[in-house]
Amino acid sequence: MSNLTPAELNALVSLLDDTDSEVRNHVRDRIISLGTEIIPFLEEKWETSFNPEIQKEIEELVHDLQFSLLKKRLLDWKESEDRDLLTGLWIINTYQYPDLEYEKLNAEMHQIYFEVWTAFKNDLAPYDQIRTINNVLFNTLRFTANTKNFHSPANSMLSSVLDSKRGNPLSLCAIYLLVGKKLGLPIYGVNLPNLFVLTYKTKDLTFYINAFNKGLIFSKQDIFNYLEHLKLEPKEEYFEPCAYLQILLRTLRNLGNSFEKLGEMEKVEEVKEMIAILSD
């Protein structure tokens, strides 16, 4: 963890409530420099401390260390070749749940895929394939739109959506997309204004899926009508598949909006940092 002895580490932590702000800042910087491996030690010190000032400092230090790790993972994801969607969503998920293991999220998604796969037949026509997925996700597993708490940050946390079975358009589409990809289907995300949907797209066939409305199938003309209703000019991006990077950016924008509505401005600023990493 570091070349410091337990006694030296204890002495460092004990200085977190020093009256001299320069000392406190130096101590904070020294602890931060030790990296995320120091977190278990800090958590143990938090549990055994009876000093609320030191506890508060430790909480902030742990958060800063965890957030630094998240940002590094996000940059690594952006620079990776495949930009795996589940990995990206897991990284964002660790903002609220830093102890969440990727393996747990992956296992839960695999179980959902397995439920769909057992009901699935490869020789079905495309529309019937989608109806099969819809039936499992929205009837058997009972995933549904979280209309009651539409702006909750939980809607952008995949683990929370898997637990509650309630999500926003983007998180429900992400689950649907991950299952569809594992089945080998040509399903992609589509970035519409105010709504995220999916498209089933091959050389000969294109239609759209609204996961927020139990997998409702609709057409390109319906998108034209939707845009006309919003008084927006049609753009190619409103009809075509988007990259996983765009899905993560939209997830983060949703998360930032949620925190803004809750008045949690420090979190809004941190979300902006994450967006900047993916936007640069």
Please, what are the domains in the chain? 6-79 (no CATH), 85-279 (3.10.620)
DSSP letter (8 states) at residue 133: H
DSSP letter (8 states) at residue 188: E
DSSP letter (8 states) at residue 17: G
Output the six-digit token pair for 203.
Answer: 């050389």
Total residue length of the chain: 280
Per-residue pLDDT of the chain (280 residues; tens, 9 = 90+): 456 777 777 777 777 776 767 877 787 888 888 888 888 888 888 888 788 887 888 888 889 899 999 999 999 999 999 999 999 999 999 999 999 999 999 999 999 999 999 999 989 999 999 999 999 999 999 999 999 998 999 999 999 999 999 999 999 999 999 999 999 999 999 999 999 999 999 999 999 999 999 999 999 999 999 999 999 999 999 999 999 999 999 999 999 999 999 999 999 999 999 999 999 7
Q: How far is CA 247 from CA 92, 118, 154, in A?
A: 11, 28, 16
**CB burial class (10 A; 0-12, 13-18, 19+) of residue 245?**
middle
**Residue 214 backbone zone (phi > 0: left; psi -120 to 50: alpha; other: beta):** left
Cα of first residue to Cα of last residue in the chain, in angstroms, is 32
Q: What is the pLDDT of residue 216?
A: 97
Instruction: Name the 3-class secondary structure at 166.
Output: strand
Q: pTM for the whole thing?
A: 0.90
Q: What is the pLDDT of residue 16?
A: 75
Element (H, E) at 4: none
Q: What is the pLDDT of residue 200?
A: 98
Question: What is the C-alpha to C-alpha distance for residues 71 and 173, in angstroms, rounded to an integer?
Answer: 25
Nearest alpha-carbon partner for 200 in 179, 178, 225, 217: 217
